[in-house]
Each structure stands twice: as structure tokens, then as C-alpha cells.
Copies of this chain bind each other. A is one copy, B any other.
Amino acid sequence: MKLRRSGRLVDMTHYLLERPHQLIPLTFFAERYESAKSSISEDLAIIKQTFEQQGIGTVRTLPGAAGGVQYIPKMAAEEAEEVVAYLCEQLSRPDRLLPGGYLYMTDILGDPRIMNKIGRLYASMFADRPVDVVMTIATNGIPFAYAIANFLYVPVVIVRHDNKVTEGPMVSINYVSGSSKRIQTMVLSKRSLAEGANVLIVDDFMKAGGTINGMISLLQEFNGNVSGIGVLVESEEAKERLVDEYISLVKLSEVDVKEKRIAVKEGNYKAFL
């Protein structure tokens, strides 16, 4: 359908935002709008400039016959700080404290408004690493994984604690929970992950890192590569950390159940922005 520049700008912006990281040939847009490639290039320059100026991301152009344009979601340091400050403020509310020193986070994980920002922030930090899928463990990690996968435009695979589900043949491993030292099991459907995939491992909460470590072991059964590790909240309490390299937004530094006090500070994410 023939569109004027103003209409093209609106439609191209939507088209690109819907497909982060996907390479789109210039000829696709030229045909879509019955416009010259030179006009399309001018449109893309405007979109790129606005995206960068407004902290939305960037538009990358790859030259050559196999080339095209890609929208790369990014988040500016300033907006990232706002997101983390909001999380810290939310998580330090004393009514979040549950018996055992756990924190109620379900409302945050259930809110697409904040989760989309968190997803864009992680996608921004992992933008230049090879990621074929995002892996997490049921149940609380799922919204976090989807939020990131949406902005990396890759599938999610979900590891489970049980194999009662109907997913066909499963691969299972045992792992030791870092904090409770108990032996537990995690399983992944055999057909849900291709051999040799590049995998971003994420979870909403990390104490000693036993669960993350378990996912790394499980991934080895599929000959996969760890592209990175992301956790929303890490607990500083852990004496012995089983995982070395990870990105966290928030660090829980003190939980005092008796005094109903929670101390949170920002995680290590700034080094990866």
C-alpha cells in the first residue's frame, strides 16, 4: 500500500518495534510502501535519530546484498537507574516480608508495565551476545524470562521441578540447592532445546546460585553454551556463591524478619550498561 512519509514513519516504527533484532531488507519496506529505496533510507535515518535521542534503542544498518536494518532495543543509563530505584523502593516495603525471610514479589512479576522496562534493560545489556533462547525455571522466573525474550525476539524454554507434565521425553538432573543443601531435581523436555544452542539463563531470585548452577548443568546435557546469566534480585546473605558471572538489578543486603526490616541496594548491572 502506497504511504506518504508521515504514514510510513508510523508504520515502520511499529513494524520495527514488533520485531527487535530481526534483520529486515530495505527492499521489503520499499515494496511495502511502493517507495524508492532512497526515501526509505531517509525514513530510517529519522527513526534511528529519534530512537537514539529518546532512549528507545537504535536502528542498525547492515550493508550488502544480505543486509538490511535491525531495531536494537536499548535503555539509557538514566532510565535504567529510574527502573532500579523504583524496584529498590518497592522491594524495601516491610509488608513484603514473608516467613523464612522470603520476599513477596508476585505483584511486580505480574505487572507488564514494570516487566517490559526490565525486559528492555536486560535485552539492552545482552544485545551484543549471541542468544538463541532464554532459559528459566518454573514458576516465578517465567514472566521475567518472557519480558527479556520479547526484546531479544527469541523463544523461552522452561525448566521444571517435576516431570508430571505432558511434554514427551525429558532430560533430568539432580542438583544441590545452595542455601538448603538439599538434593533436588530439575527436568527439561528433550525437544524444547536444540543441541548447541546459545542460552541466556535467567531467574527472578538468586541466593547461593544452586538453581542457576543446576540450569547450567542441565544445559551441558544439551551441549549448549551459556551466553549470560541474569537475575532480577540477588541476596547478599549467601556466604558461598556458586555462580561467578551474572547480572543483577537489585541486591538484598539485609532481611530482618523480627524487626520487619529489609535493606536493598542496586545490583551489579551498571558495569554491563
Binding site for B on A (CB under 8 A): 1, 3, 5-7, 9-11, 13-14, 17-19, 46-47, 49-51, 53-54, 56, 98-100, 102, 104, 106-107, 110-113, 116, 133, 138-140, 142-143, 146, 149-150, 153-158, 160, 165-168, 189, 191-192
Contacts and interface: CB of A to CB of B under 8 A. Distances in A.
B10 A157 contact: no
A189 B53 CA distance: 42
A146 B47 CA distance: 28
B98 A166 contact: yes
Given A102-B166, A139-B142, A168-B104, A10 B7 contact: no
Residue of A3, A10, A106, A138 with highest tally of chain B CB at under 10 A = A10
Given A157-B110, A167-B106, A150 B116 contact: yes
Given A9-B10, A139-B165, 6 more contacts: A1-B54, A6-B46, A98-B168, A106-B189, A112-B153, A112-B154
A153 B113 contact: yes
A110 B3 CA distance: 34
